[in-house]
Amino acid sequence: MQAAQDVNIGGRIARTQFQYTLQDANLTELNEWAPKVLEKLKSLPMLRDVATDQQTAGTALTLSIDRDQAARYGLTPQMIDDTLYDAFGQRQVAQYFTQQNSYHVVMEILPELQGEVDSLDKIYVHSPTTGQQVPLATFATWTTRKTEPLSISHQGQFPAVTISFNLAQGGSLGTATQAIQQAEREMQMPASLIGTFQGNAQAFQASLRTVPILIMAALFVVYLILGILYESYIHPLTILSTLPSAGAGAIATLMLFGFDFSLVAMIGVILLIGIVKKNGIMMVDFAITAERDEHLSAAEAVRKAALLRFRPIMMTTAAALLGGVPLMLGAGTGAEIRQPLGYGMVGGLLVSQALTLFTTPVIYIYLDRLSEWLGALTPGKRAEPVAAPHRAAAE
Protein backbone atom coordinates (compact mmCIF):
# COMPACT_ATOMS: atom_id res chain seq x y z
CA MET A 1 0.00 0.00 0.00
CA GLN A 2 1.21 3.52 -0.78
CA ALA A 3 -0.39 6.95 -0.59
CA ALA A 4 -1.93 8.25 -3.80
CA GLN A 5 -0.05 11.28 -5.11
CA ASP A 6 -1.79 14.48 -6.14
CA VAL A 7 1.02 15.19 -8.61
CA ASN A 8 2.39 12.03 -10.27
CA ILE A 9 4.39 12.84 -13.37
CA GLY A 10 6.82 9.93 -13.51
CA GLY A 11 4.50 7.48 -15.22
CA ARG A 12 6.26 4.36 -13.86
CA ILE A 13 4.43 1.96 -11.56
CA ALA A 14 6.34 0.10 -8.83
CA ARG A 15 5.74 -1.35 -5.40
CA THR A 16 7.00 1.90 -3.85
CA GLN A 17 6.90 5.53 -4.86
CA PHE A 18 10.38 6.20 -6.27
CA GLN A 19 12.74 4.11 -8.41
CA TYR A 20 16.48 3.89 -8.98
CA THR A 21 17.67 1.68 -11.88
CA LEU A 22 21.04 -0.01 -12.39
CA GLN A 23 22.08 -0.89 -15.97
CA ASP A 24 25.05 -2.93 -17.18
CA ALA A 25 25.89 -4.73 -20.40
CA ASN A 26 27.55 -7.44 -18.29
CA LEU A 27 24.73 -9.44 -16.65
CA THR A 28 27.11 -11.20 -14.24
CA GLU A 29 28.47 -7.89 -12.97
CA LEU A 30 24.96 -6.50 -12.64
CA ASN A 31 23.80 -9.51 -10.61
CA GLU A 32 26.86 -9.15 -8.38
CA TRP A 33 26.52 -5.44 -7.62
CA ALA A 34 22.72 -5.04 -7.44
CA PRO A 35 22.43 -6.83 -4.04
CA LYS A 36 25.32 -4.71 -2.70
CA VAL A 37 23.63 -1.49 -3.76
CA LEU A 38 20.34 -2.73 -2.27
CA GLU A 39 21.96 -3.33 1.13
CA LYS A 40 23.68 0.06 1.00
CA LEU A 41 20.42 1.87 0.28
CA LYS A 42 18.68 -0.01 3.09
CA SER A 43 21.22 1.48 5.49
CA LEU A 44 20.35 5.08 4.52
CA PRO A 45 18.14 6.62 7.25
CA MET A 46 16.12 8.79 4.85
CA LEU A 47 14.83 5.77 2.85
CA ARG A 48 12.13 3.27 3.75
CA ASP A 49 10.68 0.11 2.17
CA VAL A 50 13.71 -0.40 -0.09
CA ALA A 51 12.98 -3.28 -2.50
CA THR A 52 14.24 -4.69 -5.78
CA ASP A 53 12.74 -6.39 -8.84
CA GLN A 54 15.77 -8.67 -9.22
CA GLN A 55 14.70 -12.34 -9.31
CA THR A 56 17.80 -14.51 -9.46
CA ALA A 57 16.80 -17.29 -7.04
CA GLY A 58 14.70 -19.36 -9.44
CA THR A 59 15.12 -23.15 -9.57
CA ALA A 60 16.03 -24.41 -13.04
CA LEU A 61 16.54 -27.84 -14.66
CA THR A 62 17.86 -28.43 -18.17
CA LEU A 63 16.38 -31.32 -20.17
CA SER A 64 18.15 -32.52 -23.34
CA ILE A 65 16.38 -34.66 -25.95
CA ASP A 66 18.16 -37.29 -28.02
CA ARG A 67 16.33 -36.59 -31.25
CA ASP A 68 17.60 -39.69 -33.04
CA GLN A 69 16.40 -41.96 -30.24
CA ALA A 70 13.05 -40.13 -30.03
CA ALA A 71 12.59 -40.48 -33.81
CA ARG A 72 12.78 -44.26 -33.53
CA TYR A 73 9.54 -44.12 -31.56
CA GLY A 74 8.00 -41.56 -33.89
CA LEU A 75 8.21 -38.82 -31.26
CA THR A 76 8.73 -35.15 -32.10
CA PRO A 77 9.92 -32.39 -29.74
CA GLN A 78 6.43 -30.87 -29.81
CA MET A 79 4.90 -34.14 -28.52
CA ILE A 80 7.45 -34.28 -25.69
CA ASP A 81 6.84 -30.62 -24.85
CA ASP A 82 3.05 -31.17 -24.76
CA THR A 83 3.46 -34.14 -22.41
CA LEU A 84 5.67 -32.14 -20.03
CA TYR A 85 3.21 -29.25 -20.08
CA ASP A 86 0.36 -31.66 -19.26
CA ALA A 87 2.30 -32.74 -16.18
CA PHE A 88 3.86 -29.51 -14.92
CA GLY A 89 1.88 -26.77 -16.66
CA GLN A 90 -1.70 -25.66 -16.15
CA ARG A 91 -3.48 -26.93 -19.22
CA GLN A 92 -7.22 -26.44 -19.13
CA VAL A 93 -8.87 -29.58 -20.51
CA ALA A 94 -12.53 -28.95 -19.71
CA GLN A 95 -15.01 -26.50 -18.21
CA TYR A 96 -18.35 -27.30 -16.65
CA PHE A 97 -21.13 -25.05 -15.47
CA THR A 98 -23.52 -25.03 -12.54
CA GLN A 99 -26.47 -22.80 -11.83
CA GLN A 100 -24.30 -20.29 -9.93
CA ASN A 101 -20.75 -20.66 -11.23
CA SER A 102 -18.41 -22.20 -13.81
CA TYR A 103 -15.35 -24.37 -13.12
CA HIS A 104 -12.16 -25.01 -15.08
CA VAL A 105 -10.66 -28.49 -15.14
CA VAL A 106 -6.84 -28.29 -15.13
CA MET A 107 -4.60 -31.26 -15.88
CA GLU A 108 -1.47 -31.69 -13.78
CA ILE A 109 0.38 -34.23 -11.65
CA LEU A 110 0.02 -34.11 -7.89
CA PRO A 111 1.31 -30.80 -6.48
CA GLU A 112 3.63 -32.55 -4.03
CA LEU A 113 5.40 -34.25 -6.98
CA GLN A 114 5.86 -31.15 -9.12
CA GLY A 115 9.02 -29.98 -7.33
CA GLU A 116 10.80 -33.35 -7.36
CA VAL A 117 13.33 -34.27 -10.05
CA ASP A 118 12.45 -37.96 -9.60
CA SER A 119 9.00 -37.21 -11.03
CA LEU A 120 10.54 -37.10 -14.50
CA ASP A 121 11.29 -40.82 -14.21
CA LYS A 122 7.54 -41.43 -13.96
CA ILE A 123 6.65 -39.49 -17.13
CA TYR A 124 5.72 -41.54 -20.22
CA VAL A 125 5.14 -40.31 -23.76
CA HIS A 126 2.68 -42.03 -26.08
CA SER A 127 4.38 -43.33 -29.25
CA PRO A 128 2.20 -42.91 -32.38
CA THR A 129 4.07 -45.62 -34.27
CA THR A 130 4.09 -48.47 -31.70
CA GLY A 131 1.17 -47.34 -29.58
CA GLN A 132 3.22 -47.89 -26.44
CA GLN A 133 4.00 -45.57 -23.53
CA VAL A 134 7.72 -44.74 -23.74
CA PRO A 135 9.52 -43.59 -20.56
CA LEU A 136 10.96 -40.08 -20.81
CA ALA A 137 14.36 -41.35 -19.61
CA THR A 138 14.63 -43.50 -22.76
CA PHE A 139 15.38 -40.57 -25.07
CA ALA A 140 16.07 -37.61 -22.70
CA THR A 141 18.58 -36.66 -20.02
CA TRP A 142 18.41 -33.87 -17.48
CA THR A 143 20.67 -32.04 -15.08
CA THR A 144 20.27 -31.54 -11.36
CA ARG A 145 18.49 -28.47 -10.10
CA LYS A 146 20.42 -25.19 -10.07
CA THR A 147 19.70 -21.51 -9.49
CA GLU A 148 18.83 -19.31 -12.48
CA PRO A 149 17.10 -15.93 -12.90
CA LEU A 150 13.33 -16.13 -13.12
CA SER A 151 13.32 -13.01 -15.27
CA ILE A 152 15.79 -10.44 -16.60
CA SER A 153 14.46 -6.92 -16.92
CA HIS A 154 15.78 -4.61 -19.62
CA GLN A 155 15.89 -0.87 -20.10
CA GLY A 156 17.27 0.69 -23.25
CA GLN A 157 18.17 -2.83 -24.52
CA PHE A 158 20.51 -3.42 -21.55
CA PRO A 159 19.90 -5.70 -18.53
CA ALA A 160 18.59 -3.62 -15.65
CA VAL A 161 17.65 -3.96 -11.99
CA THR A 162 15.26 -1.42 -10.46
CA ILE A 163 15.53 -0.61 -6.76
CA SER A 164 12.43 1.14 -5.45
CA PHE A 165 12.06 3.07 -2.21
CA ASN A 166 9.85 5.34 -0.15
CA LEU A 167 10.90 8.36 1.87
CA ALA A 168 11.25 8.33 5.65
CA GLN A 169 8.90 10.44 7.75
CA GLY A 170 9.79 14.09 7.17
CA GLY A 171 12.33 13.24 4.46
CA SER A 172 12.56 15.06 1.15
CA LEU A 173 13.22 13.67 -2.30
CA GLY A 174 16.09 16.08 -2.86
CA THR A 175 17.90 14.84 0.26
CA ALA A 176 17.26 11.22 -0.71
CA THR A 177 18.67 11.61 -4.24
CA GLN A 178 21.79 13.32 -2.86
CA ALA A 179 22.28 10.51 -0.33
CA ILE A 180 21.96 7.84 -3.05
CA GLN A 181 24.48 9.63 -5.26
CA GLN A 182 26.86 9.90 -2.30
CA ALA A 183 26.43 6.15 -1.67
CA GLU A 184 27.37 5.52 -5.33
CA ARG A 185 30.65 7.37 -4.86
CA GLU A 186 31.43 5.58 -1.59
CA MET A 187 30.88 2.14 -3.10
CA GLN A 188 33.10 2.91 -6.11
CA MET A 189 30.93 1.01 -8.56
CA PRO A 190 32.41 -0.11 -11.90
CA ALA A 191 32.26 2.42 -14.72
CA SER A 192 30.14 0.03 -16.79
CA LEU A 193 27.45 -0.06 -14.07
CA ILE A 194 25.20 2.98 -14.59
CA GLY A 195 22.68 4.13 -11.97
CA THR A 196 19.84 6.48 -12.92
CA PHE A 197 16.63 7.62 -11.27
CA GLN A 198 13.34 6.72 -12.91
CA GLY A 199 9.69 7.71 -12.57
CA ASN A 200 8.93 10.62 -10.24
CA ALA A 201 12.53 10.80 -9.02
CA GLN A 202 13.77 11.24 -12.60
CA ALA A 203 11.14 13.93 -13.26
CA PHE A 204 12.21 15.70 -10.06
CA GLN A 205 15.85 15.78 -11.16
CA ALA A 206 14.91 16.97 -14.64
CA SER A 207 12.81 19.78 -13.16
CA LEU A 208 15.71 20.89 -10.95
CA ARG A 209 17.90 21.25 -14.03
CA THR A 210 15.35 23.23 -16.02
CA VAL A 211 13.75 25.42 -13.32
CA PRO A 212 16.58 28.02 -13.19
CA ILE A 213 16.45 28.35 -16.98
CA LEU A 214 12.66 28.75 -16.92
CA ILE A 215 12.80 31.40 -14.18
CA MET A 216 15.49 33.34 -16.05
CA ALA A 217 13.44 33.13 -19.24
CA ALA A 218 10.35 34.39 -17.39
CA LEU A 219 12.30 37.32 -15.94
CA PHE A 220 13.72 38.14 -19.38
CA VAL A 221 10.24 38.17 -20.92
CA VAL A 222 8.97 40.41 -18.09
CA TYR A 223 11.91 42.74 -18.68
CA LEU A 224 11.13 42.95 -22.41
CA ILE A 225 7.45 43.70 -21.81
CA LEU A 226 8.23 46.39 -19.23
CA GLY A 227 10.93 47.85 -21.46
CA ILE A 228 8.48 48.14 -24.34
CA LEU A 229 5.81 49.58 -22.03
CA TYR A 230 8.04 52.33 -20.61
CA GLU A 231 10.39 52.66 -23.63
CA SER A 232 13.36 52.37 -21.29
CA TYR A 233 16.20 49.96 -20.65
CA ILE A 234 16.70 51.13 -17.05
CA HIS A 235 13.36 51.44 -15.27
CA PRO A 236 12.29 47.78 -15.80
CA LEU A 237 15.22 46.93 -13.53
CA THR A 238 13.64 49.07 -10.82
CA ILE A 239 10.48 46.97 -11.00
CA LEU A 240 12.37 43.67 -11.11
CA SER A 241 14.37 44.74 -8.04
CA THR A 242 11.32 43.91 -5.92
CA LEU A 243 11.57 40.19 -6.73
CA PRO A 244 14.65 39.09 -4.72
CA SER A 245 13.09 40.18 -1.42
CA ALA A 246 9.93 38.21 -2.23
CA GLY A 247 11.86 35.06 -3.10
CA ALA A 248 14.04 35.35 0.01
CA GLY A 249 10.99 35.90 2.19
CA ALA A 250 9.19 32.87 0.76
CA ILE A 251 12.19 30.55 1.22
CA ALA A 252 12.88 31.86 4.74
CA THR A 253 9.24 31.29 5.73
CA LEU A 254 9.29 27.73 4.40
CA MET A 255 12.50 27.01 6.32
CA LEU A 256 11.13 28.60 9.49
CA PHE A 257 8.04 26.38 9.50
CA GLY A 258 9.89 23.22 8.40
CA PHE A 259 8.62 22.85 4.83
CA ASP A 260 10.71 21.51 1.96
CA PHE A 261 11.12 23.49 -1.24
CA SER A 262 8.73 21.21 -3.12
CA LEU A 263 7.06 21.56 -6.50
CA VAL A 264 4.10 23.36 -4.95
CA ALA A 265 6.41 25.76 -3.07
CA MET A 266 8.20 26.50 -6.34
CA ILE A 267 4.84 27.32 -7.95
CA GLY A 268 4.24 29.77 -5.09
CA VAL A 269 7.56 31.53 -5.75
CA ILE A 270 6.76 31.83 -9.46
CA LEU A 271 3.35 33.21 -8.50
CA LEU A 272 5.08 35.88 -6.42
CA ILE A 273 6.86 37.17 -9.54
CA GLY A 274 3.52 38.32 -10.89
CA ILE A 275 2.14 39.63 -7.61
CA VAL A 276 5.11 41.50 -6.13
CA LYS A 277 6.23 43.44 -9.15
CA LYS A 278 2.96 45.37 -9.21
CA ASN A 279 4.33 47.47 -6.30
CA GLY A 280 7.17 48.65 -8.49
CA ILE A 281 4.87 49.17 -11.47
CA MET A 282 2.59 51.47 -9.44
CA MET A 283 5.48 53.61 -8.22
CA VAL A 284 7.51 53.74 -11.43
CA ASP A 285 4.48 54.47 -13.61
CA PHE A 286 3.48 57.45 -11.45
CA ALA A 287 7.07 58.72 -11.04
CA ILE A 288 7.73 58.71 -14.79
CA THR A 289 4.48 60.58 -15.38
CA ALA A 290 5.41 63.17 -12.74
CA GLU A 291 8.84 63.66 -14.31
CA ARG A 292 7.35 64.14 -17.76
CA ASP A 293 4.26 66.25 -17.01
CA GLU A 294 5.27 68.16 -13.89
CA HIS A 295 9.00 68.39 -14.67
CA LEU A 296 9.97 67.13 -11.23
CA SER A 297 13.33 65.68 -10.36
CA ALA A 298 13.68 61.92 -9.95
CA ALA A 299 13.79 62.18 -6.14
CA GLU A 300 10.74 64.45 -5.97
CA ALA A 301 8.78 62.33 -8.47
CA VAL A 302 9.39 59.01 -6.74
CA ARG A 303 8.67 60.53 -3.31
CA LYS A 304 5.34 61.81 -4.57
CA ALA A 305 4.63 58.42 -6.15
CA ALA A 306 5.42 56.62 -2.89
CA LEU A 307 3.05 58.88 -0.92
CA LEU A 308 0.15 58.79 -3.36
CA ARG A 309 0.46 55.11 -4.26
CA PHE A 310 0.88 53.87 -0.69
CA ARG A 311 -2.81 53.10 -0.18
CA PRO A 312 -3.41 51.11 -3.42
CA ILE A 313 -0.15 49.22 -2.87
CA MET A 314 -1.20 48.24 0.66
CA MET A 315 -4.72 47.32 -0.44
CA THR A 316 -3.62 45.05 -3.30
CA THR A 317 -0.91 43.42 -1.19
CA ALA A 318 -3.35 42.82 1.69
CA ALA A 319 -5.88 41.26 -0.69
CA ALA A 320 -3.30 38.83 -2.09
CA LEU A 321 -1.81 38.10 1.34
CA LEU A 322 -5.16 37.37 2.99
CA GLY A 323 -6.08 35.18 0.05
CA GLY A 324 -3.12 32.95 0.91
CA VAL A 325 -3.97 32.64 4.61
CA PRO A 326 -6.62 29.88 4.10
CA LEU A 327 -4.05 27.87 2.13
CA MET A 328 -1.50 28.36 4.91
CA LEU A 329 -3.77 27.51 7.85
CA GLY A 330 -6.11 25.03 6.15
CA ALA A 331 -6.45 21.51 7.53
CA GLY A 332 -8.06 18.28 6.37
CA THR A 333 -7.44 15.87 3.53
CA GLY A 334 -4.86 17.16 1.07
CA ALA A 335 -4.03 20.27 3.10
CA GLU A 336 -0.36 19.32 3.36
CA ILE A 337 0.18 19.81 -0.38
CA ARG A 338 -1.41 23.29 -0.30
CA GLN A 339 0.32 24.61 2.82
CA PRO A 340 3.74 25.26 1.18
CA LEU A 341 1.96 27.41 -1.42
CA GLY A 342 0.24 29.44 1.31
CA TYR A 343 3.35 29.88 3.46
CA GLY A 344 5.43 30.87 0.43
CA MET A 345 2.90 33.47 -0.71
CA VAL A 346 2.28 35.00 2.72
CA GLY A 347 5.95 35.06 3.73
CA GLY A 348 7.09 36.48 0.40
CA LEU A 349 4.46 39.21 0.40
CA LEU A 350 5.19 40.24 3.99
CA VAL A 351 8.92 40.59 3.44
CA SER A 352 8.62 42.27 0.06
CA GLN A 353 6.01 44.71 1.34
CA ALA A 354 8.20 45.68 4.28
CA LEU A 355 11.26 46.27 2.08
CA THR A 356 10.13 47.46 -1.34
CA LEU A 357 8.39 50.59 -0.03
CA PHE A 358 11.85 51.79 1.00
CA THR A 359 14.16 50.13 -1.52
CA THR A 360 12.22 50.84 -4.71
CA PRO A 361 12.47 54.68 -4.47
CA VAL A 362 16.21 54.44 -3.71
CA ILE A 363 16.84 52.10 -6.64
CA TYR A 364 14.73 54.34 -8.89
CA ILE A 365 16.87 57.40 -8.02
CA TYR A 366 20.19 55.62 -8.55
CA LEU A 367 19.10 54.01 -11.82
CA ASP A 368 17.82 57.40 -13.02
CA ARG A 369 21.26 58.85 -12.31
CA LEU A 370 22.79 55.93 -14.17
CA SER A 371 20.51 56.66 -17.11
CA GLU A 372 21.62 60.32 -17.11
CA TRP A 373 25.28 59.28 -16.97
CA LEU A 374 24.86 56.87 -19.86
CA GLY A 375 22.96 59.53 -21.80
CA ALA A 376 25.83 61.94 -21.31
CA LEU A 377 28.27 59.43 -22.75
CA THR A 378 26.26 58.93 -25.93
CA PRO A 379 25.64 61.60 -28.56
CA GLY A 380 22.18 63.02 -28.85
CA LYS A 381 19.69 64.24 -26.38
CA ARG A 382 18.45 61.92 -23.67
CA ALA A 383 14.92 60.70 -24.39
CA GLU A 384 12.25 61.91 -22.01
CA PRO A 385 10.62 59.21 -19.90
CA VAL A 386 7.32 57.96 -21.25
CA ALA A 387 4.67 56.81 -18.84
CA ALA A 388 2.39 53.89 -19.47
CA PRO A 389 -1.35 54.50 -19.63
CA HIS A 390 -2.96 54.68 -16.22
CA ARG A 391 -5.18 51.81 -15.18
CA ALA A 392 -8.29 52.45 -13.16
CA ALA A 393 -7.88 49.17 -11.30
CA ALA A 394 -4.51 50.30 -9.91
CA GLU A 395 -6.09 53.34 -8.32
C-alpha span between 202 and 19 (Å, rounded): 8
Output the CATH code of domain 18-56+150-202.
3.30.70.1440
C-alpha span between 260 and 250 (Å, rounded): 12
Output the CATH code of domain 231-394.
1.20.1640.10
Closest alpha carbon to 322 in 357, 297, 353, 366: 353
Intervals of CATH 3.30.70.1440 along the chain? 18-56+150-202
Intervals of CATH 1.20.1640.10 along the chain? 231-394
Intervals of CATH 3.30.2090.10 along the chain? 59-147
Predicted confidence (pLDDT) per residue in 150-193, tens digit: 888 888 888 999 888 888 887 777 788 888 989 988 888 888 89
Predicted confidence at residue 393, as pLDDT, reads: 39
- Mean pLDDT across the chain, nearest whole number? 83
* 47 DSSP β-pair partners: 167
In this structure, are residues 193 and 29 in contact, taking their beta carbons and an 8 Å threshold?
yes
C-alpha span between 297 and 11 (Å, rounded): 59
Output the CATH code of domain 59-147.
3.30.2090.10
Predicted confidence (pLDDT) per residue in 329-368, tens digit: 887 777 777 888 888 888 888 888 888 888 888 888 888 8
pTM, to two decimals: 0.54
Task: Supply the DSSP string of 155-175, one letter for each residue.
Answer: ETTEEEEEEEEEEPTT--HHH
